[in-house]
């Protein structure tokens, strides 16, 4: 396979993955707006956004100039995943205890 | 429980190195960024070390004992978080909303320490489940109480146990609050 065709295929893969990622971010937001209670909204935010970010990260990987950049992308995804899970846990914990103010 | 000073210093040094490396990676090793990040690296390391030694039962090591089991856990987790994202996406767009939410107690068999925290974090990214650790119990919010979430949680718990070398025989037997039906 010659160089331009290979580049075209990589760009196509990146575009598809990025569109998929954007779709999951939209789904997370729709879920946040439509779902009825705090817990269900947290489900939508954590899971859909995490998957969306994962796909966008995968979309950027073929465009990475070097290995360092690719590792940084992976690291960002893992860090955001940890932060998302921890944040969701803290919010849900306050809701379970019922000591939050105006939680719904 | 008493904490020995060498153990504390070792844990603090490990965290300082790890967080400094993370910051260096994230900022491409820029000097200006290092100045900005230093206070955060330091405070994160101190907070993390203090949390580690505060009232924790240090029965299980933080470092995974089995790399192969860890790879299997990561594979299991990635597959199920993909399923989880798809599941909640499909639910969010349906009309009427296909939800039968419930808050249940999951009888956790992992010993107290770092593993239940890991379990809770992973559970929240699995399909249809959201975990809360409250007063030593793992409570799980499920989107659909008729789905097979219980089987997924059991498998996840087993895989975490495998990673940390926790024998099924040593697991806590706490069946007294298993109202998961």
DSSP B107-165: ---SPSSHHHHHHHHHHTTSTTEEEEEETTEEEEEESBTTSSHHHHHHHHHHHHHHHTT
Q: Is residue B62 one of the residues assigned to a domain?
A: no
Using CB atoms, pick whichever of B86, B121, B141 lies closest to residue A39.
Answer: B141
Mean pLDDT value of segment A57-69: 89
Q: Cβ of A85 under 8 Å from any chain B Cβ? A: yes
Region of residue B33 (left: phi > 0; alpha: psi -120 to 50; beta: else): alpha
pLDDT at A102 over 60: no
Percent of chain A at pLDDT exceeding 70:
93
The residues, any chain, with a CB within 8 Å of residue B160's CB and separated by 6 or more, are B73, B110, B115, B118, B119, B122, B166
Query: Under an 8 A CB cutoff, do A42 and B92 touch?
Result: no
Beta strands in A6-80 (DSSP E): none
B57 φ/ψ angles, rounded to the nearest 5 degrees:
-85, 120
pLDDT confidence band for A13 (50 / 70 / 90): very high
What is the pLDDT at residue B171? 60
Quick one: DSSP state of residue B104? E
What is the pLDDT at residue B39? 93
What is the pLDDT at residue B180? 41
Candidate from A48-57, A86-95, B90-99, B109-118 with smallest mean pLDDT: B109-118
Identify whether residues B76 and B157 lie together within a single domain: yes
If one counts the domains in chain B, the total is 2
What is the pLDDT at residue A11? 92
Quick one: DSSP state of residue B65? S
Q: Is residue B130 one of the residues assigned to a domain?
A: yes
Identify whether residues B22 and B71 lie together within a single domain: no
Q: Residues of B with CB below 8 A from A28's CB?
A: 88-89, 92
* B6 min Cα distance to partner chain A (Å): 29
| Domain coverage including residue B18 | 5-53
What is the pLDDT at residue B167? 65
What is the pLDDT at residue B175? 47
Identify whether residues B41 and B75 lie together within a single domain: no
With residues binned 3-state (H G I as helix, E B as strand, rest as coil), the percentages for chain A, rounded to 5, are 85, 0, 15
What is the pLDDT at residue A25? 94
Q: Is residue B60 one of the residues assigned to a domain?
A: no
What is the pLDDT at residue B96? 82
Q: Cβ of A94 under 8 Å from any chain B Cβ? A: no
What is the pLDDT at residue B129? 87
- Whether the CA torsion B32, B36, B39, B43 is positive or negative: it is negative
Using CB atoms, pick whichever of B93, B101, B103 lies closest to residue A30.
Answer: B93
Map residue A30 onto helix, strand or coil: helix
Identify whether residues B143 and B167 lie together within a single domain: yes
Q: Rounded CA gap, B132 and B29, in Å?
A: 37
What is the pLDDT at residue B57? 52
Identify whether residues B90 and B15 lie together within a single domain: no
Tell me which residues of chain B have a pLDDT lower than 70.
1-3, 55-64, 167-181
Q: Is residue B48 one of the residues assigned to a domain?
A: yes
Q: Is residue B59 one of the residues assigned to a domain?
A: no
Identify whether residues B79 and B140 lie together within a single domain: yes
Nearest CA in chain A to B101: A40
Q: Rounded CA gap, A45 and A32, in Å?
A: 7
Identify whether residues B78 and B143 lie together within a single domain: yes
What is the pLDDT at residue A1? 65
What is the pLDDT at residue B44? 93
């Amino acid at each position: 396979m010659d160089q331009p065709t290979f580049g075209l295929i990589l760009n196509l893969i990146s575009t598809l993955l990025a569109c998929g990622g954007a779709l999951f971010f939209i789904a997370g937001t729709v879920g946040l707006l439509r779902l009825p209670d705090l817990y269900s909204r947290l489900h939508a935010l954590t899971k859909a956004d995490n998957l969306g970010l994962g796909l966008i990260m995968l979309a950027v990987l073929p465009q990475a100039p070097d290995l360092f950049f690719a590792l940084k992308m992976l690291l960002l995804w893992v860090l955001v995943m940890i932060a998302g899970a921890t944040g969701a846990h803290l919010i849900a914990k306050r809701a379970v205890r019922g000591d939050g103010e105006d939680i719904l | 429980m008493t904490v020995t000073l060498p153990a504390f210093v070792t844990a603090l040094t490990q965290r300082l190195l790890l967080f400094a490396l993370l910051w260096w990676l994230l900022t491409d090793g820029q000097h200006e960024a290092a100045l900005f990040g230093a206070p955060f690296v330091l405070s994160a390391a101190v907070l993390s070390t203090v949390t580690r030694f505060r009232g924790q039962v240090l029965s299980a090591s933080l470092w995974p004992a089995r790399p192969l089991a860890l790879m299997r856990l990561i594979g299991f987790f990635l597959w199920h978080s993909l399923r989880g994202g798809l599941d909640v996406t499909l639910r969010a767009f349906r009309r009427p909303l296909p939800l039968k939410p419930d808050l249940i107690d999951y009888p956790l068999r992992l010993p107290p320490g770092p593993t239940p925290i890991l379990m809770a974090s992973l559970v929240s990214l699995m399909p249809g489940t959201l975990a809360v650790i409250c007063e030593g119990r793992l409570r799980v919010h499920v989107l659909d109480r008729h789905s097979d979430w219980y089987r997924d949680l059991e498998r996840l718990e087993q895989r975490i146990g495998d990673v940390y070398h926790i024998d099924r025989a040593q697991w806590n037997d706490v069946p007294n609050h298993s109202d998961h039906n």
